[in-house]
Amino acid sequence: MMARYRFFALNLATFLLPVSLSHGITLSLTPIKDTVIYEDPTGSLANARGSNLFAGVNGGGGGNLELRTLISFDVSGIPSGSTITGVSLSLQANSRLGTSTTVQTNFHRLLGDWGEGTSLPSDGGGGSGGDATPGDATWIHTFSSTDLWDTPGGDFVASPSATLDVTENFRHTWTSPELVTDVQGFVDGDFDNFGWILIAEPGARTKRFFSHDSFDSIVFPQLIVDYTPIPEPGVTSIFLTLIIPALLQRRRRQIALRR
C-alpha cells in the first residue's frame, strides 16, 4: 500500500513539473553612455554629447583622422545566474556621404573603463569633433586629461565580438555567439562591463549613426538581450518539499494505529 502511495505522489509531481519551469525574457536597453574618439595624438578632440556616432576615416575636411565609437549598456537588471540566450546590438545609420559604399565594421569588447564628458562637436555633423572636456574619452585618454589607455585608440579584445557590413541608411543589427558570451560574462562577473568599441575596416570612409543624444529615442542605439532566469520555486517544489512528506507521514501514522 505504501509503495502504491509513493508511486501516486511521484506521478502527480511529474504532472505538475511544467508549472515551475522558467520562461524566457527579452530586455531592451539604450546606452548609459556613448562617445566618439578621434585619432589625435594629443588627445584634444572628443565628441561626448553630439547627436552622431562614427566609425571610419573622416576625410580631408576633418584631417583624415580615424574615428571610433565607444558604447556601454547597463545589464545589471538581469538577475544573477540567468542564462543569456541571444544578444543583438543595433545602430541607426544616417551617413551624409550616401549609401554607395559598403564598410565592414567590428564591435570589440572593451578592457578598460572610459568617460563621457560634456564635449560637443565644432561642426554640425560631428565628424571633426570638438575640444575635449574633463572626463572625456579621447584617442589617448580613458578620462581626459589624467588617465590614459594602455594603447592609443582604446584597449579592447583583439578578436571582434560581432562583424557587419554597413551600407544604406537603415537600422543595422550586429548579433553573434560572441556577443552572447560577452553579456553572459558581464552578468556572471567574469568580465567587467566596459561596453564595446566600434571600428571600421582600415582606410574606410566614415559611417555615421545616431547617438543616444540625438533628437528622437526611436533612433537611439539599442541592445536587446534574451535570457532565461533561474526558475523560482513553483508548484512542483512546494508539492515535493511540503505536501508529499506530510501525506506520507500521515499514512505512516494510519498504518501504525492499525497494528
Do 223 and 244 lie in one domain? The reply is no
42 in Cβ contact with 152 (< 8 Å) = no
Do 17 and 73 lie in one domain? The reply is no
Span 132-155, average pLDDT: 98
What whole-number distance in Å separates Cα of residue 212 and Cα of residue 253?
68
Do 121 and 212 lie in one domain? The reply is yes
Do 246 and 155 lie in one domain? The reply is no
Number of domains the chain is built from = 2
Do 33 and 140 lie in one domain? The reply is yes
pTM more than 0.75: yes
Do 214 and 239 lie in one domain? The reply is no
Do 237 and 223 lie in one domain? The reply is no
Do 149 and 243 lie in one domain? The reply is no
- Exposure string over 209-232, b if 16+ CB within 10 A, otherwise e: bbbbbbeeeebbbbbebbbeeeee
Do 39 and 127 lie in one domain? The reply is yes
Residue 2 has pLDDT above 90, yes or no: no
pLDDT of residue 61: 77
Do 59 and 8 lie in one domain? The reply is no
What percent of the chain stands above pLDDT 70?
Answer: 79
Element (H, E) at 248: helix 244-258
Do 57 and 111 lie in one domain? The reply is yes
Residue listed under C-alpha cell 573603463? 113
State whether the Cα torsion 134-136-138-144 is positive or negative: positive
Do 86 and 53 lie in one domain? The reply is yes
**21 vs 145, which has greater pLDDT?**
145
| Structural domain span for residue 161 | 27-230
